[in-house]
């Protein structure tokens, strides 16, 4: 009798289990890949000669069919999701980080803080940036802790449970203020200036003395975010042989690989970086971001770990274009010839160096513009501030100075009553001109380009 009851119960249980199972059943048939398998090559790809013809891209078809696999489109068995906690405070000393509450949250498999990372610093030129801040937070987007959980939502929920105590430090937001001797030293260096460049050519003071007019003006540009359509994304797997495989949206994989190996204290041959199609880089994906963090989370959990930046992460923690403060002083002859120019560039590097040094060099070389200037003096400084760090972005410092020297040129043309095109033609590089750093230029077409461009878009008509 008793046994019968037990059997009946068991059947009932099994039946209800089956029912639930049926409800939970996911479609077992994979999606149909619906496109013809043998599409002819696009006519545009077959044209000869290629010059002057419409061009297509070899990967354009895959993109259009939605078949391109970006990092976020890849799933590995057992994969879990990581999210990064952002400081939300510009400059502070971290007194304590408590992740115990977060670890108790449903679905959470591991957490990571800065002190657990073997070498907690990276950067393409100066290794001054922590992967996760463990001592001092230097900008609001600094990561302070990471959580890996079964779903993205669980990871995000767990971030709220991380308790961090801060002791606020003075903020330094203005690069000009940051350069002053009494400014708070963000990296405990002697000065917040961490890179300088100088170009000197001819004798500027004599050039100014020979000039009929002197023009001075300060130009500033703002911070610009790359906003790639695809946020930074990577998937890390730490295998039993102690090797790390990273699928990443990184643009410079060899450089990134060296940086990852350094931070994880692994020989470089233990790190494999697999790059896929990148959904927009523009310079913002030129250095590592979370790769070592997810590698370590994978080591802790034994699972593949995916981390995709939220759009907020993208804005507050990834690199941006450098804001510049550009002081221009130019001496002009009556006829509109540039006699001498003095430039002072202050590059607001944000909290960490990133690519600021190289950007500064490029800005410095190009700051005189495509003009023959006998007497030139350029001083350039890259400065730490407690803002989102700045790094590579298309043009690498060139667009900022171009805005300055061309605006300056227009100002002077207006002041002297010379036509803007005329003043440019008068000073533009010719064949064999030397650049500010002494490079002799060949195949110089700046005059032809200017003339042709003004003709094509009706500059003369517009002037009337």
**Does the footprint of another protein cover residue 26 (CB under 8 A)?**
yes
Query: How far is C-alpha 219 from the geometric centre of its chain's CA atoms?
Result: 24
Segment lying near another protein (by CB under 8 A), choices 123-131, 181-189, 304-312, 320-328: 304-312
Q: Does residue 280 interact with another protein by CB under 8 A?
A: yes
Least gap, CB of 30 to another protein (angstroms) = 6
Beta strands 244-248 and 338-350, pairing class: unpaired
**Closer CB to another protein, 213 or 315, in the complex:** 315
Residue 217 and residue 214: Cα distance in Å, rounded?
10
Which one, 152 or 210, has the nearer CB to another protein?
152
Task: Considering only the stretches 70-78, 101-109, 207-215, 408-416, report the one whose residues sit in contact with another protein under the rule CB under 8 A.
Answer: 70-78
Q: Does 277 bind another protein (CB under 8 A)?
A: yes
Segment interacting with another protein (CB under 8 A) among 23-31, 317-325, 382-390, 425-433: 23-31
Task: Give the whole-angstrom CA distance, residue 340 versus residue 214.
Answer: 9
Does position 61 interact with another protein (CB under 8 A)? The reply is yes
Q: Give the residue with the Cβ less far from another protein, 63 or 180.
A: 63
Among 4, 5, 23, 417, binds another protein (CB under 8 A): 23
146: closest CA among 165, 127, 162? 162
Q: How far is CA 198 from CA 343, 364, 415, in A?
A: 10, 8, 29
The least CB distance from residue 464 to another protein, in Å, is 9
DSSP string, 182-219: TS--TTSSS-SEEEEEEEEES-HHHHHHH-SEEEEEEE
- For residue 425, how many other CB atoms are within 10 A of its CB? 15
Choose, by CB under 8 A, the member of 35, 93, 165, 414 that binds another protein. 35
Residue choice 13, 63, 93, 180 for contact with another protein (CB under 8 A): 63
Is 56 a residue that touches another protein (CB under 8 A)? yes
Interface with another protein by CB under 8 A: which range of 136-144, 228-236, 410-418, 446-454?
228-236
Q: Cα dihedral sign for 218, 364, 351, 282?
A: positive
- The DSSP result for 71-100, as a single string, is GGG---TT-EEEEEEE--SSSEEEEEEE-H
- Rounded Cα–Cα distance for residues 446 and 358 (Å): 25
DSSP-assigned letter for residue 67: -
Task: Kindly state whether residue 454 participates in binding another protein, applying the rule CB under 8 A.
Answer: no
Distance in angstroms (rounded) separating the CA atoms of residues 207 and 374: 8
Of 104-112, 263-271, 275-283, 297-305, the window that binds another protein (rule: CB under 8 A) is 275-283
Q: What angle do CA 420, 425, 428 make, to 5 degrees?
A: 120
**Counting contacts by CB under 8 A, is residue 32 touching another protein?**
yes
**Roughly how many angstroms between the first and final C-alpha of the chain, as a whole number?**
108
Task: Give least dist CB 80 to another protein, A.
Answer: 13
Distances (CA, A) of 135 to 87, 142, 254: 12, 11, 29
378 in Cβ contact with 368 (< 8 Å): yes
Counting contacts by CB under 8 A, is residue 460 touching another protein?
no
Rounded-to-integer distance, Cα 445 and Cα 451, Å: 10
In the bound state with another protein, the residue whose beta carbon lies nearer, of 88 and 251, is 251
Q: How far is the CB of 156 from another protein (least distance, A)?
A: 11
Where does this chain touch another protein (CB under 8 A) — which range of 62-70, 178-186, 257-265, 358-366?
62-70
Query: Based on CB atoms, which residue is closest to another protein, 6 or 54?
Result: 54
Decide: is 65 part of the binding site for another protein (CB under 8 A). Answer: yes
Binding mask 336-375 for another protein (x = CB under 8 A): ----------------------------------------
The correct pick among 30, 49, 77, 432 for binding another protein (CB under 8 A) is 30
CA 408, 410, 416, 418 dihedral sign is positive
Q: Least separation, in Å, of the C-beta of 315 and another protein?
A: 10
- Please tell me the distance from the alpha carbon of residue 358 to that of residue 380, in angstroms, as a whole number: 12
Under the binding rule (CB under 8 A), the answer on residue 334 touching another protein is no
Nearer to another protein, 278 or 383 (CB): 278
Q: Which of 352, 442, 346, 440 is nearest to 397 (CA)?
A: 346
- Output the smallest distance, CB 228 to another protein, in A: 6
Which residue ranges make up the site for another protein (CB under 8 A)? 23-27, 30-37, 39, 42-44, 54-57, 59-70, 72-73, 75, 153, 226-231, 277-282, 308, 310-311, 457-458, 461-462
């Amino acid at each position: 009798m008793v046994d019968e009851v037990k059997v009946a119960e068991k059947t009932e249980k099994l039946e209800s289990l089956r029912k639930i199972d049926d409800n939970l059943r996911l479609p077992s048939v994979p999606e149909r890949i619906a496109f013809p398998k043998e599409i002819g090559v696009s006519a545009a790809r077959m044209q000869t000669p290629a010059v002057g013809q419409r061009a297509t891209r070899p990967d354009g078809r895959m993109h259009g069919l939605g078949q391109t696999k970006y990092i976020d489109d890849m799933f590995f068995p057992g994969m879990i999701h990581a999210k990064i906690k952002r400081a939300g405070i510009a400059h502070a000393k971290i007194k304590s980080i408590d992740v115990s509450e977060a670890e108790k949250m449903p679905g959470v498999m591991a957490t990571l803080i800065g002190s657990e990372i073997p070498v907690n610093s990276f950067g393409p030129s100066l290794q001054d940036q922590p992967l996760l801040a463990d001592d001092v937070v230097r900008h609001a987007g600094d990561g302070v802790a990471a959580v890996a959980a079964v779903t993205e939502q669980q990871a995000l929920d767990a971030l709220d449970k991380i308790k961090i105590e801060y002791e606020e430090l003075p903020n330094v937001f203005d690069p000009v203020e940051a350069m002053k001797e009494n400014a708070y030293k963000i990296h405990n260096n002697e000065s917040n200036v961490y890179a300088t460049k100088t170009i000197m050519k001819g004798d500027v003071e004599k050039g100014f003395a020979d000039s009929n007019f002197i023009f001075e003006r300060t130009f500033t540009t703002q911070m610009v975010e790359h906003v790639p359509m695809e946020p930074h994304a990577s998937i890390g797997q730490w295998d039993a042989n102690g090797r790390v495989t990273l699928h990443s949206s990184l643009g410079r994989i060899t450089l990134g690989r060296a940086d990852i190996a350094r931070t994880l204290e692994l020989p470089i041959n233990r790190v494999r970086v697999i790059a896929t199609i990148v959904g927009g880089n523009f310079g913002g994906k030129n250095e590592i971001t979370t790769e070592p963090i997810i590698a370590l989370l994978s080591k802790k959990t034994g699972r593949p770990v995916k981390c995709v930046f939220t759009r907020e992460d993208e804005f507050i923690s990834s690199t941006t274009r450098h804001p510049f403060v550009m002081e221009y002083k130019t001496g002009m002859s009556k006829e509109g010839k540039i006699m001498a120019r003095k430039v002072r560039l202050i590059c607001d590097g944000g909290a960490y160096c990133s690519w600021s040094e190289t950007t500064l060099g490029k800005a410095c070389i190009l700051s005189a513009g495509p003009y023959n200037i006998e007497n030139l003096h350029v001083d350039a400084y890259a400065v730490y501030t407690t803002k989102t760090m700045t790094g590579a972005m298309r043009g690498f410092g060139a667009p900022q100075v171009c805005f300055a020297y061309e605006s300056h040129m227009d100002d002077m043309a207006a002041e002297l009553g010379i036509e803007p095109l005329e003043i440019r033609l008068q000073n533009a590089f010719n064949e064999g001109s030397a650049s500010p750093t002494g490079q002799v230029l060949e195949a110089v077409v700046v005059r032809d380009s200017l003339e042709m461009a003004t003709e094509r878009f009706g500059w003369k008509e517009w002037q009337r």
